[in-house]
Amino acid sequence: MTFELTILGSSSATPAFNRNPSAQLLNINEKYYLIDCGEATQNQLNRFRIRSHRIDHIFITHLHGDHYLGLIGLLSSLHLAGREKPLDVFGPPELLEIINIQLKYSQTTLRFELLFHAIDATQSALIYENNDITVNTIILNHRIPCTGFLFTEKPRKRKVNMEKVAEYGIPAEYIPLLKLGNDYEDVKQQRVISNAELTSSPIPPRSFAYCSDTLYNESFLHQIKGVSILYHEATFLHELLPRAEETFHTTALQAGQLAQKAEVGKLIIGHFSARYKELNTLLEESKTAFDNSYLAIEGLRFTV
Amino acid sequence: MTFELTILGSSSATPAFNRNPSAQLLNINEKYYLIDCGEATQNQLNRFRIRSHRIDHIFITHLHGDHYLGLIGLLSSLHLAGREKPLDVFGPPELLEIINIQLKYSQTTLRFELLFHAIDATQSALIYENNDITVNTIILNHRIPCTGFLFTEKPRKRKVNMEKVAEYGIPAEYIPLLKLGNDYEDVKQQRVISNAELTSSPIPPRSFAYCSDTLYNESFLHQIKGVSILYHEATFLHELLPRAEETFHTTALQAGQLAQKAEVGKLIIGHFSARYKELNTLLEESKTAFDNSYLAIEGLRFTV
Q: Which of B125, B136, B60, B56 is nearest to B88 (CA)?
A: B56
Question: CB contact, 8 Å: B109 with chain A?
Answer: no
Q: Residue A46: which of B15, B64, B98 has the nearest Cβ?
A: B15
Q: Which of B132, B134, B133, B135 is nearest to B148 (CA)?
A: B135
Q: Which of A194, A164, A195 is nearest to A178 (CA)?
A: A195
| Long-range residue pairs from A49-55, CB within 8 A, at least 24 positions apart, any chain | A50/A6, A50/A25, A52/A77, A52/A78, A53/A78, A53/A81, A53/A83, A55/A25, A55/A87
Q: How far is A209 from chain B (nearest CA, A)?
A: 24
Judge whether B265 and B292 are in contact, CB under 8 Å: yes
Q: What is the pLDDT of residue A179?
A: 93
Smallest CA–CA distance from A45 into chain B, residue: B15
Per-residue pLDDT band for B16 (boundaries 50, 70, 90) equals confident
Question: CB contact, 8 Å: A105 with chain B?
Answer: yes
Please enumerate in sequence order all residues whose Cβ is within 8 A of that of A275, keeping only pairs 6 or more positions apart, or say none: none
Q: What is the pLDDT of residue B195?
A: 94
Judge whether B227 and B262 are in contact, CB under 8 Å: yes
Q: Residue B42: which of A15, A101, A107 has the nearest Cβ?
A: A15
Q: What is the pLDDT of residue B156?
A: 87
The ipTM of this complex is: 0.88
Told to judge if A36 belongs to the known catalytic residues of this protein, a careful annotator would answer no
Residues B127-138 pLDDT 10s: 999 999 999 999
How many Å apart are CA A96 and CA A118, to the nearest integer? 8
Residues A36-74 pLDDT 10s: 999 999 999 999 999 999 999 999 999 999 999 999 999
Q: Which of B198, A276, A37, A279 is nearest to A268 (CA)?
A: A279
Residues B35-82 pLDDT 10s: 999 999 999 999 999 999 999 999 999 999 999 999 999 999 999 999
